[in-house]
Each structure stands twice: as C-alpha cells, then as structure tokens.
Structure 1
C-alpha cells in the first residue's frame, strides 16, 4: 500500500553500497511491475490491478528519491517529495473516479488476468521485501522502505482475494471494493507527503536531520 513516509527525509543511504544496490534492483522491479500491471489492469478492466499499480508507482518514486536526492539539501528533497506526492494523489484520484464510473455499469473484469498478474506482483513485492529485510532495524529511512514493501505484499493479497471474489460471484464488486480502498489510501498517502513537503519548504531549518550511522 502506498507509503506516506518519504525515504529521502532521513539519513543519506549512499554510504552503504549494498543498500544502493538493493534500491536499484527494487526500483527496476517496481517500474517494470507498474508498467505491466497498469496495462493488464486497463486491458482486463480491473480497477484493483490499476490501484495496485499505484503502489508500484509510489514505491518507484520512493526508491528514486532515495537514490537521486538523498545527499542533497533538504529543500531539493522536499521539492522531489512534492512531485512524488502529487503523482500518487493524481493517480489515486484517477483510480477512484474510474471505479465509481465502473460501478454504474455492469462490466466484469477478467478474474484470470487479475489472479495471474496479482500473483506475479506478490512474488515481485515479496522478493523486494526479502532483499530489504536486513535493513528493517536500520534508521527511519531504511525502515520506511522496508515497511512499504511489506505492506505492498499485503495489498497484493487483497488483489488476489478480489480475483477470487470476481471469479466466484461473477460480479465486479469485489474488484471495485479493493480498488476503492487502495485508491483512498493512495489519496491519503499523497496528501500526507504534500503536506509534509510544504511544511519543510516553508521552514527548512526546523526539519534538518542529523546523520545517523548505518548498521553493517
């Protein structure tokens, strides 16, 4: 599920080469899954898959910010967070609106596609979570990324449950219910990021974080 914490707000992770390698792998996986899942979601008519793609997009932005601007001044990190928050919020709004519009119709998404893509997404997020597991007790930056990946795996299980519900009932409502919940979380997460970034841009001196030691 979309994270409201921005991984660029704490310590500079670039001191740990292994951490950067993991982030590059995670970024590649999440971007690939975002593109694949959004296409599959639109093709199959599944709003839940489109909402799950939102998670991959949000995480991709999270990892990219960590890799690209973590060592820069807080003002640049906050500006990057604004872009991230606005993107997540806009995509969450898109999924929510299209889900409401779909609820007025009687189309049924393809449960088989939902199940296959949902299972692939679960494997992808599970693999990323395993790579990040060793950093779960690190600083706030590392913990935020680990928690995001763990929560995303839970979101994938929700998509699989929606696929089973669609297959069993022949109705679109299980798909729409999961999509609306995930889209709402995306809106909330994006709004939280935008709020925090705007506060930091107004008062940067109040949000400076002292460097912390990265565990080996």
Structure 2
C-alpha cells in the first residue's frame, strides 16, 4: 500500500473535508483518507498510482499541492464507527444557526447575519449530502449536489440584489448589538463543530488545539460580522454591514461552485 501526502491550502473547516471525501468516494485503488485540518494536510492511502486521485482533488480548486509519496507498512486502518452520528450532530448545529441567523438578520436588518446564515446553510448542505448519499449510487450523489449547489447560488444572488438595493436606497441602520451577540454564538457553534469532528477521529485529538479554531473560514466570517457590528455603531452607518455581507455572499458562491463540481 502507498501513502501520498497533499497540502490543501483552502481546507479551512470540516466541510471541505467532506467535499473531498465525496469527490473521491468509490475511486479505484483508494483505501483510506486522513485529514489534518489545522495543518491543512491530506494523507491518502492507496494501491497503485495516484494520478486519478490527484486530478479529482485538483478539480475542487482547494489549492492542493502534492508533497510526497512513499510505501506504507501500515496494513490495518480503522475507520471511525460513529462518523454518521457525528455528521448528524454538526448538521443539526449548522442548520439551527442557519435558521437563527436568517431570522435575526432579517429582524435586525443585518445583511452580514443573513449572509453568514447562508454560509451555515452551505455547510449543512455538505454534511447533508454526505449523509443522504451514503449507500446510494454515484448518480444520486451528483443529483443531490447539483440541487444543493444551484439553490445556494440562487440564495446568494438574491442576497447580492438586496445588498445593492440597500447601498442605493435609503439607509437602514442594523441593530449592532444583535449582530455581535448572534455572531458570538455562531463563533462558539463553529468551534464546537470543529471540536466534535476532530475529537471523533482519535483519542489523541480529544483536546482541541488553539490553532484549530483560527484555521476556519467560518470563524473568520463570524469575527468579521462582529467587527462590522462595532463599526456600524461607531460610524452610525450600515456600510460596514453591507460590505461584510457582500464578502460572505462571494464566499457562499465559491462554496456552491465546489458543491456543483461534485455533480460533474
């Protein structure tokens, strides 16, 4: 058996891990995948060549770089037995915060919260595809990915239109305290999801490293909305909220594009 190591520079959170798992699902020669999210490292255990696997990883545009390949003496690899349960937990957390941030974003007139809610929905789609495609055919997985990707793009476009309308129309000042409070809760939720997924892999990873939290795009987005909320209050303007909303909508579209790549 061979062991090949890649650096995945854009593997910021567990949703990218699941995208890679779905992309490589069922590939000939693939034995096992190991993910080191904090260090953005993917280790592939496989038989035979790595070319087709490397090509599939590259197609996701996650900044993959081949590092090394060698013969592995490892003969037995234990897969996590509770993976499905863990995915259900993180799916529930992400979908709950999608609803919470969408409602509070609309009520508080914050496009930053609305955009972040769609980012939570994007992660929910990834975990959901992983769950509902288990045991199903490759065609079924691609159909689910295509539906999820296009729906995500549609919501992001609606968000862009609303941001533009607010830029050009009368200024509605968002409730900065709601922006900050909900974003802090979302920050905790993202950290919890990352901790749960890392802990499920092995006992050695049970204690969360500080670096784990700050490698996640989701956490950076939460911090961005918090800063935008402070600037809204300080400048008495909705522009910081609209700017962070636009940035997050762009990230949501990028995530949708990666999901759509699974349907090809």
Tell me if TM exceeds 0.5: yes
Hey, which bits of structure 1, 4+ residues long, moved more than 4 A? Answer: 1-5, 134-137
Aligned length: 188
Q: Distance in 2 between matches of 1:111 and 1:60?
A: 26
Flag the structure with larger Rg: 2
171-180 or 149-158, larger mean C-alpha shift: 149-158
Contact 1:8 1:70 (8 Å CA) reproduced = no
Q: Given the two structures, how large is their TM-score scaled by the length of structure 1?
A: 0.78
Closer/same/farther in 2, CA of residues 136 and 169 from structure 1, 3 Å limit: farther
Q: Is 2:9 the partner of 1:9? A: no
CA displacement 1:94-135 (0-9 Å, x = unmatched):
111111111122111000110111111111111001112247
Closer/same/farther in 2, CA of residues 136 and 168 from structure 1, 3 Å limit: farther
Residue 176 (structure 1) shift: 0.5
Coordinate RMSD, CA, aligned: 2.6
Q: Distance in 2 between matches of 1:112 and 1:59?
A: 25
**Equivalent residue number for residue 191 of structure 2:** 126
Residue 198 (structure 1) shift: 4.6
Higher helix share: 1
Q: What SS class does the counterpart of residue 21 from structure 1 fall into?
A: helix
Q: Is 2:130 the partner of 1:56? A: no
**Equivalent residue number for residue 245 of structure 2:** 179
Higher strand share: 2
Residue 71 (structure 1) shift: 2.7
**Equivalent residue number for residue 38 of structure 2:** none
Correspondences of 1:95-106 after superposition (within 5 Å): 95-104=159-168, 105-106=170-171
Residue 41 (structure 1) shift: 0.3
Q: Given the two structures, how large is their TM-score scaled by the length of structure 2?
A: 0.65
**Equivalent residue number for residue 142 of structure 1:** none
Unaligned runs of 5+ residues in structure 2 are 1-11, 27-32, 34-78, 203-211
Q: What SS class does the counterpart of residue 70 from structure 1 fall into?
A: coil
